[in-house]
Amino acid sequence: MNNVRMDNLSWVEYERRVQSGAVVFLPIGATEQHGPHLPLGTDALLASAISEDVAREIHGIVAPALAYGYKSQPKCGGGQHFCGTTSVDGATLIAMVRDAVREFHRHGVKRLVLVIGHYENQWFVTEGIDLALRDIGPDAGLQVMRLEHWEFLQPQTIERIFPDGFPGIALEHAAVIETSMMLHYHPQLVALDRIPAHGPAEFPVYDLYPTRTEWVPASGVLSSALGASAQKGQWLVGDVIGGIVQAVRFEFALGEV
Amino acid sequence: MNNVRMDNLSWVEYERRVQSGAVVFLPIGATEQHGPHLPLGTDALLASAISEDVAREIHGIVAPALAYGYKSQPKCGGGQHFCGTTSVDGATLIAMVRDAVREFHRHGVKRLVLVIGHYENQWFVTEGIDLALRDIGPDAGLQVMRLEHWEFLQPQTIERIFPDGFPGIALEHAAVIETSMMLHYHPQLVALDRIPAHGPAEFPVYDLYPTRTEWVPASGVLSSALGASAQKGQWLVGDVIGGIVQAVRFEFALGEV
Amino acid sequence: MNNVRMDNLSWVEYERRVQSGAVVFLPIGATEQHGPHLPLGTDALLASAISEDVAREIHGIVAPALAYGYKSQPKCGGGQHFCGTTSVDGATLIAMVRDAVREFHRHGVKRLVLVIGHYENQWFVTEGIDLALRDIGPDAGLQVMRLEHWEFLQPQTIERIFPDGFPGIALEHAAVIETSMMLHYHPQLVALDRIPAHGPAEFPVYDLYPTRTEWVPASGVLSSALGASAQKGQWLVGDVIGGIVQAVRFEFALGEV
Amino acid sequence: MNNVRMDNLSWVEYERRVQSGAVVFLPIGATEQHGPHLPLGTDALLASAISEDVAREIHGIVAPALAYGYKSQPKCGGGQHFCGTTSVDGATLIAMVRDAVREFHRHGVKRLVLVIGHYENQWFVTEGIDLALRDIGPDAGLQVMRLEHWEFLQPQTIERIFPDGFPGIALEHAAVIETSMMLHYHPQLVALDRIPAHGPAEFPVYDLYPTRTEWVPASGVLSSALGASAQKGQWLVGDVIGGIVQAVRFEFALGEV
Amino acid sequence: MNNVRMDNLSWVEYERRVQSGAVVFLPIGATEQHGPHLPLGTDALLASAISEDVAREIHGIVAPALAYGYKSQPKCGGGQHFCGTTSVDGATLIAMVRDAVREFHRHGVKRLVLVIGHYENQWFVTEGIDLALRDIGPDAGLQVMRLEHWEFLQPQTIERIFPDGFPGIALEHAAVIETSMMLHYHPQLVALDRIPAHGPAEFPVYDLYPTRTEWVPASGVLSSALGASAQKGQWLVGDVIGGIVQAVRFEFALGEV
Amino acid sequence: MNNVRMDNLSWVEYERRVQSGAVVFLPIGATEQHGPHLPLGTDALLASAISEDVAREIHGIVAPALAYGYKSQPKCGGGQHFCGTTSVDGATLIAMVRDAVREFHRHGVKRLVLVIGHYENQWFVTEGIDLALRDIGPDAGLQVMRLEHWEFLQPQTIERIFPDGFPGIALEHAAVIETSMMLHYHPQLVALDRIPAHGPAEFPVYDLYPTRTEWVPASGVLSSALGASAQKGQWLVGDVIGGIVQAVRFEFALGEV
């Protein structure tokens, strides 16, 4: 039994922990193409693994991930024309988050962290939180943190991993960072020999609809994952775990637990 | 790597299998109290495990479960007053299913099975399917099967397990059937020593709102799980797996694969 | 003037009765095929007639029926492919019930009974009630009972009517029970000579979409109504009326009025 | 059996008539205060009765009325502060109409008439029709007529009934016209001795929210119904029936049937 | 700088004025064909200009207009088949108004006037207000006035402008009244030489869907604008400005400012 | 008359231009605090002015701006606690965009550009476009470009304006870039003497809800606008206009017009 996973706890144990002030984490991922070498579940798997690592350090609880995210966009996820990418409408994601936040509030949770693992989710998650807080009223006593885990990467780590220059987080879809993190957490799900070798995708500053699918490499990888390693994954995950633990402790005034 | 889990497959592998006619299974569970001895994730865990067993037999694929279900009702799940039960509005579940079905259709999936593991989900899932089929049009070529896994239990198995009479599926929340199935699939998540000993709940034929919480045992268990065993779980799961495999093969005209 | 029908009362009279504590009944039916021998309005007609009989016993008020219900399903109503069946989306029925409950609360109604006459309505009505109660807040003082009228049938009545065995309520669409009740309440609307003679429909335990219309008898009748009679209707209705009156008196602490 | 009422017909008979080109009428009323002398169901009762009279002349069919309408406004219905007035949100009425129109189209109905009996319904009904036609596509072959029955009153009839000047249709809520029509159709539901004697309400040209309830007579009657009679009702109804029959025959190219 | 336009004010200045009790005006127009001689923005331009004139007299503030209105209807705006007419669904307009009213309430606005410049908007705006007031609660202290500006025209002005008889406000789309008002406010946007000369459109008392476009003059003008002049515009606008100023002062108890 | 503004054109002229292939621009702004020195309408004013400049170069048409945007966030717009900021729910903005895109398609527009002037709008606009394209179908022939105007700024211009280093676009709310652009387009709306002198705001990488308003400078300015000038505005606007013109010509294959 993994005792930070909410779905592994009985309600009695969950209630006991919530009443003693446990922070609850909700990973919000996607089911989205991640090239020929990473699995469709990458975003949810990483957001869940990171949430569990953080939760273990601060006696938190990790709720079941939202496994379907907002529609993949060409510039950050390849786009909706890929087979396997399974996305929801904005209204659906907003509703899922709204309902979940409202329910955690009903449980008595005071400190909730939404851990986003899919770039496209951010604004719909934000709206879901806002609507839930409107529902429960201004004095409900629930504090919600929303974060994208890659935002906690340190500049020095990025420099160490990309000594020849960082192509930018926007192109890091199925590339070195995600692949390294997956090699750290789920090496058996990474097909190193299937990493495509092509250079980074180039996009204009605007978007066109219907999607210009020719802008996106056929592999779905936006910049190459060659050079990814479990060691780099460890460094990256270290930044993220450390950063989130610190943020949660600081903002939610948790002592060292 | 679990090669029936969609979230473990690359999009390239997923596409290959879909194009060769793989049946896709979508487990639809809940996060809901299941007494002091079963975990909150029971419904999603069972729907997923059953889906994976079926998929293994027919070269299918199991999509990530919907882990949050429709609101728990006193008579079949204990009700929404329990801490830990984390439910969504009807409209949210409808939207999730509608979006998911529409996406599987876009992938080229022709045969989709929605495996419900939470009694309260049924009608909202039905509506989600109906709206998705309306969206994609009458000649889209997608066939969807919707099932509740416990419906495949055989009368002789029920008699074998309940020689003194079956209290009815309605009261089988966190009771012998679910507990036995969990002992079969996830024994480490079952706290046998915490099974409450009280007799079955009794409900009138109508419902009252706001919920009469006094109708529901404080444990959340609707009839006792005493007597549950992994052996019984194996019998039960055997019925379900066998029944679904047969139904899918028959309706979707799959040869023996 | 039928002085239990809300639509026959002036607002002044209605207000007077509500203020003196009258229970309000809202019948929720359907417009749905009921074979060649029963009218399309059967579900709303029966729910209304039963509500009126109950209301007469306890000085209640019957609001105008919701005459359009959730989409007919093959196994319990024949399905949406029949001409004449006129159904609404789940969201529409939820909204109708939500608005209605909210309005009765505004009137000062304290005890409201939703009398369902169409199997498919149950879950959407439940959601409508839940959302209305969320709107009006937890301390609003409104109690809502939701019931399906056939749930009040007594086992001994079923045995008396089906001495050779009861095919089950699931197949009782346009069959002996509904036909007998209609012969009791609206004999002029029953075409006894058009009752089809075929045996009961057989369905698997799962559902398929698009609907396998070949599973459903072309008549729309799921098991034969032969043997229906006004006498049986009286017995059946007697159970239902008696049961509802007793339930309402008990739960809402009404003295004998 | 009333053979123009859809809820009295079997689906077989309904289908036969629809296939032979029958015009279907959907009355859309309200449950709304109509002063101390008229019942809450007035709008639905009149819309239904008129629809049935028209249908009888042209072999049409009358579907069950929508009995709950859009929120009552002070200037035309007294407003939402009256007990008994039971209204729905705009979105709910839109959805009801959208669903109903879509269903009649599925039945094969080619000519549908929405008969509005409640002033406040008009725009939401219009939107419901528009959305349904968007759903079914531009070449669906369904023609929909939307009408407010009082629009068919002839000037000479108005002059005959109001020789001292007509206060205007806006103030005709629960006044001479509606009361006379009810005396024609449902005299037993009219309490002539309870008609208030006060003069007409006066309203500014703008509206204020929250409603200035002091603008509305406490009786709910916007101008006096004194002088109403069954004879006048017959004249009024004659105009309406005649006008609708003529309009339907003309627009839908029905011969004299 | 136009110091009654909210979009020209800094938030600091806006806040200062709101706190000192300024009335806020929200013009609600449309983008709709107005014949060959008036611009598509006529409804929003007039509602804004009128709002600004009123605001100048009473130290009010004019918020940015809602420039897209509810769908144009044949009888009052020509209908949705015209190129250039750009309309929103009813739900969209309801939502816009609901959100805006809620926001003005958050600002501390106590007196809000919604100035409608497009006939078709009225009921959806009414619903938006109602839902916003439901959201903010009954004791929020916000008063909202909703008005259609043409309702403030005085009978004597109408007689002066239409000495041969007034065709009725219903046909005044892109006709003498609107054209004269535009000549008063925006003469450079009026192409007097392109005013069509045809007589007024004639409509039956009912509506048909899909729209009978042949009922509507091809020009989009429902009755001729010949005879329009800036002088008449000044008279008309004078009525409207004077009427609104008086109504606002009276209802909102403003002294002469 | 400004002959690129849609609201200044008659429908006849608009239709003529659309049929000859004119590109239509829809500015999407906000009503949002922009510090004590810029007006609340800044985002809509800039998006409109830029759109008009671009349209003039390529014979395009500018539709009326959407003047209300998605909710202001602390890190990019200061947040929703400011008076004057007037925002809409995500669903409302999605619906506005969906309806507008659908209508331009109906007009026969083939090339539509959505010009976003408010950072928070991006994802809801994206969803609105996606839903509209779903509505009109994959082969509708409409191409939509979505852009945020500041994305067209050239690195060398940024360096020229920020020789001591660029604080980043995220903090450029009511700062040098926006203020300079406003000095270029609307100098009379800029209160140079009210520019606050404080240094840039600092934010963590995560967000908290309810908003930590203490993170945001009380002025609403996220980094100082000191140093803004009309000259800089001209440079900035030059980049944007030039970039958009080039993008539109390139993607939409317009010759030099």
Flag whether residue D152 sits within 8 Å of chain E, measured between CB atoms: yes
Nearest by CB to residue A206, choosing from F70, F130, F147, is F147
- Which residue in F128, B105, F52 sits closest to A209, CA to CA? F128
Judge whether residue D257 has pLDDT over 70.
no
Distance CA C35, CA C37 (A): 6
F79 → chain A, closest CA residue: A130
Once rounded to an integer, what is the mean pLDDT over residues D115-142?
Answer: 97
pLDDT reading at E2 higher than 70: no
For D40, the token pair is: 């809450």
In a domain, D256, yes or no: no
Could you tell me where the beta strands, DSSP code E, fall in chain A? 24-28, 61-62, 111-116, 143-148, 207-209
Subunits with 3+ Cβ pairs within 8 Å of D are: C, E
Domain extent for B202 = 6-251
Tell me the pLDDT tens digit for each residue of B41-60. 999 999 999 999 999 999 99
List subunits contacting chain F, requiring 3 or more Cβ pairs under 8 Å.
A, E
- Which tokens sit at A218? 């056929």
Indicate the pLDDT class of residue E102, thresholds 50, 70 and 90.
Answer: very high
CA C147 – CA B70 distance, rounded (Å): 20
User: Which of the four pLDDT bands, split at 50, 70 and 90, describes residue C203?
Assistant: very high
Q: What pLDDT band is residue F247 in, cutting at 50, 70 and 90?
A: very high
Whole-number pLDDT of residue D254: 84
Reply yes or no on whether D184 is catalytic: no
Q: Is pLDDT of E256 > 70? A: no
F143/A210 touch (CB, cutoff 8 Å), yes or no: yes
Q: Do residue C40 and residue D14 have CB atoms under 8 angstroms apart?
A: yes
Residue E1 domain-assigned (yes or no): no
d(CA E51, CA E65): 10
What Cα–Cα distance (Å) separates residue B188 from each residue in A55, B40, B174? 21, 14, 16
Contacts of C70 in chain B (CB under 8 A): 123, 127
Least confident span in B132-146, D122-136, D157-171, F62-76: D157-171
- Indicate yes or no: CB of F107 within 8 angstroms of CB of E92: no
**In a domain? residue E112:** yes
Q: Is residue B70 part of a domain?
A: yes
Across chain E, mean pLDDT equals: 96
Which of the residue ranges B209-223, C58-72, E47-61, F158-172 would you say has the lowest mean pLDDT?
F158-172
Q: What is the mean pLDDT of residues F237-247?
A: 98
- Inspect the interface and report whether the beta carbons of B41 and A89 lie closer than 8 Å: no
Respond yes or no: is residue A81 known to be catalytic: no
pLDDT at B47: 98
pLDDT of residue E94: 98
Residues of F in contact with A210 (CB under 8 A): 133, 138, 143
Cross-chain residue pair B39–A8, CB shorter than 8 Å: yes
Residues 3-62 of F with CB under 8 A from A: none
Torsions phi, psi for B39 (to 5 deg):
-80, 160
- Altogether, the residues listed in chain F come to a count of 257
Determine the pLDDT at residue D69.
Answer: 98
- In whole angstroms, what is the distance from residue E95 CA to residue E101 CA? 10
pLDDT band with cut points at 50, 70 and 90 for residue F2: low
Q: Name the residue facing C6 among D8, D9, D40 (closest C-beta).
A: D40
Distance (Å) from the alpha carbon of C256 to chain D's nearest alpha carbon: 26
Q: At F76, which CATH number?
A: 3.40.50.10310
Mean pLDDT of E155-160: 96
- Cβ contact D126–E152 (<8 Å): no
Long-range pairs for F213-220 at CB < 8 Å and ≥24 separation?
F213/F74, F213/F79, F213/F81, F215/F74, F216/F74, F216/F78, F216/F79, F216/F81, F219/F35, F219/F36, F220/E11, F220/F33, F220/F34, F220/F35, F220/F36, F220/F78, F220/F82, F220/F173, F220/F174
For residue range B153-189, list pLDDT tens digits in order: 999 999 999 998 898 887 889 999 999 999 999 999 9
Q: Which residues fall within 8 angstroms of residue A14, CB to CB, at 6 or more apart?
A: A6, A61, A107, B40, B83, B84
Residue E110 lies in a domain: yes
**In this structure, are residues C222 and C74 in contact, taking their beta carbons and an 8 Å threshold?**
no
Count of domains observed in chain E = 1
Q: Pairing mode, if any, of strands D143-148 and E207-209?
A: antiparallel
HSE-CB at B228 with a 13 A cutoff on CA atoms is 29
Provide CB contacts within 8 A for E198, sequence distance 6+: E217, E219, E221, E224
Answer whether residue E122 shows pLDDT above 70: yes
Greater confidence (D198 vs D192) lies with: D192
Chain E neighbours (≥3 Cβ pairs under 8 A) are D, F
Best of E127, E149, E158, E211 to disrupt the D interface (most D CBs within 10 Å) is E127
pLDDT in tens, F87-125: 999 999 999 999 999 999 999 999 999 999 999 999 999
Give pLDDT, residue B1. Answer: 54
> What pLDDT does residue A155 have?
95
Place of tokens 């006094």: B214
Best of F206, F207, F214 to mutate (most A CBs within 10 Å, chain A) = F206
pLDDT of residue F169: 83
When pLDDT is cut at 50, 70 and 90, the band that residue D138 belongs to is: confident
**Is the model's pLDDT at E212 over the cut of 70?**
yes
Which regions in chain A score pLDDT beneath 70? 1-2, 256-257
Is the per-residue pLDDT at F156 higher than 90? yes
Chain B, window 80-119: residues with a beta carbon less than 8 angstroms from a chain A beta carbon: 80, 82-89, 91-92, 95-96, 98-100, 103-104, 106-108
Higher pLDDT, D170 or F73: F73
Per-residue model confidence as pLDDT tens digits over C140-177: 999 999 999 999 999 999 999 999 889 888 788 999 99
Structure tokens at F81: 């606690």
Q: What residue type is C250 in one-letter code? A: F
In the structure encoding, which two tokens stand for residue A112, read together? Answer: 């909730």
Provide the β-strand partners of residue C27: C115
In this structure, of A243-257, C54-68, D232-246, the range with the lowest mean pLDDT score is A243-257
> Looking at residue E1, what is its pLDDT?
54
Given a cut of 90, whether residue C135 has pLDDT beyond it is yes
Amino acid at E185: Y
Residue B2 pLDDT exceeds 90: no
C133 — phi, psi (to 5°)?
-70, -35
Q: How confident is the model at residue C254 (pLDDT cuts 50, 70, 90)?
A: confident
In a domain? residue C159: yes
One-letter amino acid at E127 equals E
Please give the pLDDT value at position E170. Answer: 76
pLDDT at residue B108 tops 70 = yes
